Structure 1
């Protein structure tokens, strides 16, 4: 009996210790609330467990996460609170009005991985105890009043991936951070000077603007050439200053002369051939199966994400060289462009053959081109690949697509079918795709996408998909993603590529669309309306977070976007997930959270838990109407608008 009694005593002591620990953590949180206030810290003090309080996340009866962003905390954080919260892994106090320096007992939180303190009024030098938190992965101290030198002790944080210290008062040079492998870095708008360390020169100039720094990606430092960097075996960038030998120079000269002679010879042959042919007799038989070559520095995914919007377009001599049918069919008149409805018939197949063109991108169903016709119109031409159905089936299905008529759809104007070529002709959207707008230009000159534009795009895309679903219970889009949401000059959304999933074989649906694909989809040619809703939910998350669906990171492990958002949000709807470009719009936080909730509902694991597209479109319309009404109310009640008599 004695061993059993000892075991019971041990269990009782352990339980008492756990309760005591949770009780001390509860007391620490209540002390924090009484010290710094907060408009939403309505924690129920009668509840013995803090694990049910808003913003508090527990594991194994310990507080491991504390999310209190934008809750009007003010004043200085008192010393002594964090020594009772030693199990914290995430601490978010951003978008408040906290002042003074950080309490030194924060060093007790040795398990801390994520520390978000941006947009407060914190002062003093960056505290040295932060450099003794070995598990720190993400550190954001931006938009505070930290001063002093840039500490070289950041090198102690060997797991650090994100370091944001922009808009503070740091001075002096940036130290070498060679031991660190950073994914995100920003020190803009400080008082830093000197040369940017070689290892940090891979970041964009936006990471360094507003300082007195030099070196790539900014202007070269005095005495430094702007030569391209070479990378040694240790991954360090070095300017290649090695001089060329005399033999190498001679080889270059000889090679250049030979190339000029060959070029002249080719030009002579081309001129002779051109003079013996009529403009309309374009021989495309030899190239009808060819694809324009993508530059080696641009991947297929780069082009799919809307290369034309980022200056990555690939020029080709003519559409005929890449997308035409056989010469016999074109000249014999056996095949022709088939137009839909009242679409303007200002051109024919011959005009298309003579059009100058450039590659817009390679997508799931084929390659898209921008074709500039001699008569003036500009159209987009999609050259389908892997079409596996008969001509009769193709005509039936594509004519159903051509009948689709809605202001939020990219209209299909015409098609061409032959044994070897299947072409679709659409209106050309000069602003490119949503994907290019979100993930393309990240450097200087980028126009941030504000809440009004993003919510408008979400509503336009929802209405387009809602219209498709209204055409019948078996009608779906089948390939919803940001590169298939095209934009007009006024940023109105137009849904493209609808109805094409039924035309091609399964080989045309590569893994790169898996980030949008609902978990129940096994055959990409058979996508239900509920699966469309899931894909649209991922699209909404992409709009809100600014992250590509397959590249979201959580704890250094790749996961899909819905799981990443859910892991960050947990039980409390926090703004940690939102794109930094959206965080400047404080008056629409509630609408942003509502749209986030809608996106998560759309991306539910089980189809019957997802709303219909009609419900989705109606919800987005209501939250946009609410946002506009609040803006109007603020303008009407703004004291600056009152006239003093």
Structure 2
């Protein structure tokens, strides 16, 4: 073993001499044939992808001074390419290993959601890169070691590829987002502070990967396999030593010749050193700027935690919403909060996004979920809310329908109906008159219940952040009759959404308009009128409240309010101020006794009609 260690040490010594000699000679890339311009690099990318859209769009001059970029997906500053964003456009083919060499001003690169294959690129010439996202492609081979040299790297997304080999020892303090999940990586996760700070979910889907923070432990088999490799490695090292020594002799001859040349250029060397010192100072200033951008912006006093605390906390997925995924973050010695990662947003500058957040924060009401903080960066927008301990209204109505379920009684449902009505009235009266849709996405899953069972309306005012295309596909107001017929929305669209929520609350059935993906729902307004016509009114109200016979009259009053809110014509729907008054007039019951009686037989279509108008 001692002899093998001597061989290894000798190999390392020779390797260091070799690298030192090459550096002393000062070789450049000219001998490698990587001359060219940024335009050449982009045209090479286009040729490699051979994409019909890029072939027609990437033509002419890509950047000119500070004019808007003329090529799709290209970002420019002062005529230089600073960003490439080609996401989800069906790119195939491979990217040349040296494709990015000429793009020295590049700070943003995203190829995510395509079909690109081959090895990762060389990033050693892209020292300004802060964002690299090649997720959901078919890249294979090892993770490029050139990524270790990116001192300002903030986001590295490599998940959902076919990468193999170990994870390099990333130690950049600037790195705040890192994901290598769902690859074919192997070995132990390096124990650098940076890599250990990320949640285990960032490493899942790599069967041969082990060690913290993943859930897989490393066993002794790895050491056994390594010990079997020693004889082979020693042989390789000896051969490399012989080759390296021969090369070193040649390089030393070149080295001494180079030294004589450097002595003659002493003054030039001093000037170069001054430039390097200025570069270091500039880099330090940039690190400080990065640290500033990585902070949460609190809407009020700080909550005793920062972004780094969220990234290090244990996280639990709460589900996918229309605006993005939500996670419960449990902070060390702190509160549980909900972090919502926004997606499919309009292009908003930092100032525009901050303005929208201030508008949300100004909406203060006991039945609105307050915004605690937000985070903005070029490719990541986070909203932070307090955690509602009793979940959302959808789960309270429909979840856990078994023996151990705690019944959702009439008084509790009426309390929720009141709280949501008050919140919607506040939004309608305290939102800019030019904002025609203060909420736009009112549904049972967006009504939360705190530790005291108080209803808190969430996700209000976010429609101004996403594009119209995604809003029309996902938001409840866009399913209203007026939008389906005339492509128009108003505050009455929120009233329609509130009516559907009341029908879901009373019937215990899932509304077709707000049913989660993969779940079948019912057009509750049409269903209720059919039930009355066919005289099976006993099925209208949820069984958990229909047994409370003393509350039947109040249930009918709330049902009539709901049906008025669901009128097909917006002009026939009440304003939220009127709705609040009517719901407030319905009194809580002193006792919630159960009596296995049937509903009042006077429940007819005439009794459900209001103001002589036909409903349904």
TM-score range, shorter chain: 0.3 to 0.5
Structure 1 length normalisation: TM-score? 0.46
TM-score scaled to structure 2, two decimals? 0.48
Higher helix share: 2
Higher Rg: 2
